[in-house]
Structure 1
């Protein structure tokens, strides 16, 4: 140990975030079982399927796609990918998020109807959950939020499939407007997390080139014996979260 005072001074590799997700098993307005469609503006995301089956529906300017999910599959996508998890039965996923802490700080915009996206106050009210989605709460608000986003997603998807990408481009523009007030805080998180992790690799390479390796003396092991909390209501399902940021 080096006497560092942070509670978890050794971040996960690359400054990623990790959580375990049990995808919602209730039915949305279109008759599909699953989570809330949304996109991230700065964070790539990866799924490692642990149990059950389903699919992830994605929408980008390149088109609409449905990717099967089954145990052992790994699926990942870039920022700007609208994604919606569909649960065919018992779908459980380990989620890896770029820029740990950024999604929780607002780097996710739900595909709500345009009139809600146009008004930051109405948008914030529509996406808020009682108690922040704390475990044990009534899931009704989470389902209502999902159902709103599904209706918006259907419009974007159907228009895109018909060759009209204008609504999707308008959604991108609305998402940018919503998050711009948060960008300074996001930049601070990025600098302290993913950027710092990358910079440390450069520092290690420079030291090794000098024939030095002081960081080897600082080697340490960290662990989480269990999640920080279990069954928090998230966008796509119930989350077991870990304090990695």
Structure 2
């Protein structure tokens, strides 16, 4: 059965953003962004410029990977990641499951008692309305609170104790559970629909039918106007599809 064509999503149904990593100093002497994990989405980094590191907590333990122009790495859900900026770190981020990260797939590493309390978490993670300066200061406070929780996880892991990390995983799963039905619909309408279009096209080609090629289209994207958004790890540049044509 053929699947109706629509404007194509970005290849692989992924999302992209242009990330300028925060240069704010942290309590442990680094500079950079907010540690967090994703509950269902892989994430990739393509470093465009500058230097820094990504620090990760995963099934492999604690790791530090150097980043510079041309560096590429990606990681799976559950990987706690923290970007450290040592000089104008500029990254193209590539997110699986376009739409889910924006719908709350990310959980910041606030102290466990906050992550276990949905109301306290919502208050801590939400940036208020206000001026650029006010929102920037709120984003910095949010980052620092996540660094506090991250430091607890790291200290325990370095002592061979995965208990706090496992407790954080459980709290993160409980936190997002009420949104899974909404996420499933979003995923079905985008990622799964894109897969079904490819399945239909393969079936057509197997029968010698190339009619879908005649529906070829180009989607052009335009950057959203400045100022950049205050993201978890830095200032975000985002593109929107240009439907004028």
Given the two structures, how large is their TM-score scaled by the length of structure 2?
0.92
Q: Deviations over 1:8-44 (max 9, x none)?
A: x221001100110000001112111000000000110
Q: In structure 2, the residue corresponding to 1:225 is in which secondary structure?
A: strand
1:114 aligned partner: 112
How many residues are matched?
Answer: 238
| 1:144 lines up with 2:145 in the alignment | no
Residue 177 of structure 1 corresponds to 174
Matched, 1:59 2:50: no
Q: Per the alignment, do residues 137 and 220 of structure 1 end up closer, same or farther by CA in structure 2, a change over 3 Å counting?
A: farther
Structure 2 Cα separation of the partners of residues 5 and 201 of structure 1:
10
Specify the SS of the correspondent of 2:190: helix
Alpha-carbon shift at residue 61 of structure 1 (Å): 2.7
Greater shift in the superposed pair: 73-82 or 217-226: 217-226
Q: Partner of 2:220 in structure 1?
A: 223
The Cα of 1:134 is off from its aligned counterpart by 8.8
Contact 2:35 2:109 in 1 (8 A): yes
In the other structure, the counterpart of 1:198 is 195
Residue 135 of structure 1, CA deviation? 6.3
**Cross-structure match for 2:96:** 98
CA contact (8 A) 2:5 2:197 kept: no
CA RMSD of aligned residues (A): 1.9
Alignment of 1:29 with 2:27, yes or no, is: yes
Gaps of 5+ in 1: none
What SS does the aligned partner of 1:139 have?
helix
**Of 38, 41, 50, which residue of structure 2 is paired with 1:40?**
38
Give the TM-score normalised by structure 1.
Answer: 0.92
In 2, Cα distance between equivalents of 1:219 and 1:135:
42
Give the Cα–Cα distance (whole angstroms) in 2 for the partners of residues 24 and 197 of structure 1. Answer: 34
Q: Distance in 1 between matches of 2:100 and 2:222?
A: 24
Query: 1:187 aligned to 2:184?
Result: yes
